[in-house]
Structure formats: structure tokens, C-alpha cells
Structure 1
Amino acid sequence: MNNIEVCDCSGCDDCDCNEIHEDCIKCVRDNMLEEETFLKLSDLFKVLGDNTRIKIIYALFKKELCVCDIAQVLSMSQSSISHQLRILKSAHLVKFRREGKVVYYSLDDEHIFQLFNAGLEHIQHN
């Protein structure tokens, strides 16, 4: 897993002109992520860019729920919720388990909680 690191090369701290800093450019270019990684990250944020899906994720923070329960919580149809859950599942944001005829949904892993909380902290901070 790649983590974002801040470049510590010289010359990157102060810029009060329209000058190109070749060392900074090289540092950033040498440490860019693969294009596929940027595309996957962009796709993740697109999935998270929907109000209903954000509400579903928040509900699943609280408790593992079936489609019927989520539909009741959000006052939406089961078919609408099922559609959104398919999108969340394909993005690996939620997982499911069967218990008889009932399918229960939960968050896929701890990263979703961290991602959601980071966004929430950011908007509450500003």
C-alpha cells in the first residue's frame, strides 16, 4: 500500500515568483503513482459522490442491515437500495452474508470507516 509522503527536497519551501523549480518537479514526477492507481482512486470518489450511497455507508457504520431495513431507514424503495448496494459492492465498499433467505450488508473493511471519518472531520473542521 502506498502512502503519500511530502517531498523534502530543497527549494520547494518558498515560491514568491514565477520560477520553475526543476528539483521539485523531478521529485514529484519520480514519485507519482501509476495511472491505473489514479483511475481507481477517482472511481472510488465517484462512488462516494452520491448522497444515497453516503447515507447507506453511514447506516452500515451503526449496524449490519438487510435491504429492507436500509430502505426503511432511508425511506426509499428496496429496488433503489438494491441498486445502490450493487454499486457499493462492486467498489468493494460493502460486503454481504446470507442467513437463510435474508442477505445482510456491512462495511467491507476498516478503511471505509477511516475514509468516511476523514471526510467528515474535514467538513466539520471547515
Structure 2
Amino acid sequence: MAVAGAYTDGVRAASQDDICDLACLHPEAVQQAKAALPDGSCVERASAFLKVMADPTRLRILSALSTTELCVCDLAAVVNISESAVSHQLRLLRAGRIVTYRKEGRVAYYRLLDQHVTTMIRNALDHAKE
């Protein structure tokens, strides 16, 4: 049995302060918020995007790539993990459309996919510093 206001699995249980007495106090605001909601498939894609980035190792890789493009061995040196581990993380990041690469001979140079990703990484890290 949850106690009002108590935390369960990192989420605070609802207390009487969290519950409105009326079903809809501000119908105009509710309608405006509903109209602004993205469609379900967009929410699913955005959620998957955020889940892929929500890993400390991947975030360190992405932070390094926000400064310059790097090959796997250079990324391994920057984040201090094995090349194999970096390659595994890059596969996930490529599948999530967060990074891309270009080949120069036998070397693949990775970079963030686009400016949106760069902005997301910088904003997340700036927010964490506040």
C-alpha cells in the first residue's frame, strides 16, 4: 500500500495535492495542449531516440563527437573503453539515427547525424551543469 507522497521505484505516489477536485478546470488550456500534442508515432520515435542517448557511455561518445568527427580507435582513447565496446555503442547510435560515418580507405570517421543531435547533446549537458 503506497503512502500519499511516498516514493515508489523513484516515482512519487500521488497525494491529495496532486489531484484536482474538478475533472477539467481550464478547458481552453486543455484544448490548446491537446492540439499541440504530436501524433503517437512521432512520440514513439522521439522516445526511442532519447532512450538510445540515455546511457552514460553513449553520452560520453556523443559528447566527444559534438566537438569533431573521430574514428573508433580515437573514440576508444577519448572515452577510455575498448574499440570493441565503442563499435558496439556506435552500432546502436547508427541504428537510432544519431550518428553517421564516412569511410576514408579502411577507416570510418563518425560524427553526429545533424545539428538537432548536436543541440540535444549540448542542451542536456548544459542542463546537467545547472
Alpha-carbon distance between aligned partners in 2 of 1:99 and 1:46, rounded to the nearest angstrom: 30
Residue aligned with 1:63, SS: coil
**1:56 equivalent in alignment to 2:56:** no
Alpha-carbon distance between aligned partners in 2 of 1:31 and 1:71, rounded to the nearest angstrom: 42
- Aligned pairs, number: 109
Match of 1:34 among 36, 39, 47: 39
Match of 1:116 among 100, 115, 121: 121
* Structure 2, unpaired ranges of 5+: 1-19
TM-score using structure 1 length: 0.79
State the Cα deviation string for residues 15-39 of structure 1 (Å, max 9, x = none): xx63322222222222321000111
Residue aligned with 2:42, SS: helix
Alpha-carbon distance between aligned partners in 2 of 1:37 and 1:66, rounded to the nearest angstrom: 31
Alpha-carbon distance between aligned partners in 1 of 2:67 and 2:38, rounded to the nearest angstrom: 34
* Structure 1, unpaired ranges of 5+: 1-16
Alpha-carbon RMSD across the aligned residues, in angstroms, is 1.5
Q: Which runs of 4+ in 1 moved over 6 A?
A: none
**1:18 equivalent in alignment to 2:38:** no
Alpha-carbon distance between aligned partners in 1 of 2:75 and 2:38, rounded to the nearest angstrom: 37
Residue aligned with 1:33, SS: coil
State the Cα deviation string for residues 36-91 of structure 1 (Å, max 9, x = none): 01111111110111001001011112221111111122221111111100111111
Residue aligned with 2:45, SS: helix
Alpha-carbon distance between aligned partners in 2 of 1:41 and 1:52, rounded to the nearest angstrom: 20
TM-score using structure 2 length: 0.77
